[in-house]
Chains A and B, each alone.
Chain A
Amino acid sequence: MLERDCYLSGMENNSEPTRRPSPDEARASLDDVRRMEGDLADRLVTPWWYYPGVGLGEALMVSSMAFPSSLRAPALVIGVAVVGLLFSAYMRLTGLGMSNQYFTLARRWSISLLVVVVVAIAIVLLIDQPVIVAATAVTIFVATVVLGRRADSALRDRLSHGVAR
């Protein structure tokens, strides 16, 4: 067993730490963190159905604004439920919550998606015409699938190379 391993093993078992790590050991620990991020990148693979499902849920929520008043609330609830169930299924499958670094590591794509959703909601609220609502719902679906997958790829790419630059 290497000296570093003995030392770290002692720390892990709560024995008295004897000294701080040397520069070499510090670098090795940083490498461990980078490797962990690389492993995580391999595990953060979003199932193929996730973004299409979320896109459908969002499209339903947006188009519900054009529904007859009696159907508006149920459609909205179903849309929210679909997104919630997909999120829950993603967590059960991967054993991981969503990355909390989306906006840092996949900034361009995640902000683009947010802008599309906000603009789509504004358009539907301002222009209450079925054709416009339908076109907006389709746009939101496509944007969610395309930009969501791009954001995932960007995130995994950054993690697999370590967040180190």
Chain B
Amino acid sequence: MTALPQFDELIHAPNRLKICALLSTVTTAEFGTLRDTLGVADSVTSKQLKVLSEAGFVKLSKPTGIGGRAKTWVTLTPAGRRAFVGHLAMLQQMAADISAGGEYEHDGS
């Protein structure tokens, strides 16, 4: 997926950036896995997901398992993927001001 470089203030916050990075690589992720990967508390993860969800960047679902406790699964929406890829492209441009090194290439397809 290609996107025009565009800085996104909402995504740029560190935990939200990490959440989007993880979700851009897998089809979906469970809440607990996201929390453990970020290394933060439930409340922090929940708060960041709420912000992303209200912006339409992630979708939360709670499928009922057979006899088990329903878990929350998080998926990046097409709008979220576009915003994340555009934001990464902008970060590359900004970083290139002091770096002639490798480009950050992210295929969010």
Contacts and interface: CB of A to CB of B under 8 A. Distances in A.
Main SS of the interface on chain A?
helix
Interface string B43-58: 0000010010000000
Interface string B17-33: 11001100111111011
A144 B58 CA distance: 33
A163 B94 contact: no
Interface string B92-103: 101111110011
Query: Which of B15, B29, B92, B103 has most chain A Cβ within 10 Å?
Result: B29
Given A12-B13, A21-B94, A99-B25, A30 B37 contact: no
A14 B51 CA distance: 9
Interface size classification for chain B: 35 or more
B12 A96 contact: no
Contacts of A162: 104
A11 B103 contact: no
Contacts of A104: 107, 109
B26 A12 contact: no
Interface stretch (A31-39, A50-58, A74-82, A111-119): A31-39
Contacts of A26: 91-92, 94-95
A122 interface: no
Contact of B88 (A30, A39, A91, A96): A30
Contact of A164 (B29, B48, B97, B103): B103
A45 B9 CA distance: 33
Contact of B27 (A33, A95, A100): A100
B33 A96 contact: yes
Nearest to B91: A26
Query: Which of A91, A99, A162 has most chain B Cβ within 10 Å?
Result: A91
A27 to B, nearest CB: 4
A44 B29 CA distance: 11
Interface in B51-99: 51, 65, 73, 75, 88, 91-92, 94-99
A48 to B, nearest CB: 20
B99 A163 contact: no
Given A32-B18, A40-B37, A165-B103, A11 B13 contact: yes
Interface in A82-121: 91-92, 94-101, 104-105
7 contacts: A11-B13, A17-B9, A23-B98, A26-B94, A40-B26, A104-B107, A163-B104
Interface of B: 7, 9, 12-18, 21-22, 25-30, 32-33, 37, 48, 51, 65, 73, 75, 88, 91-92, 94-99, 102-107, 109
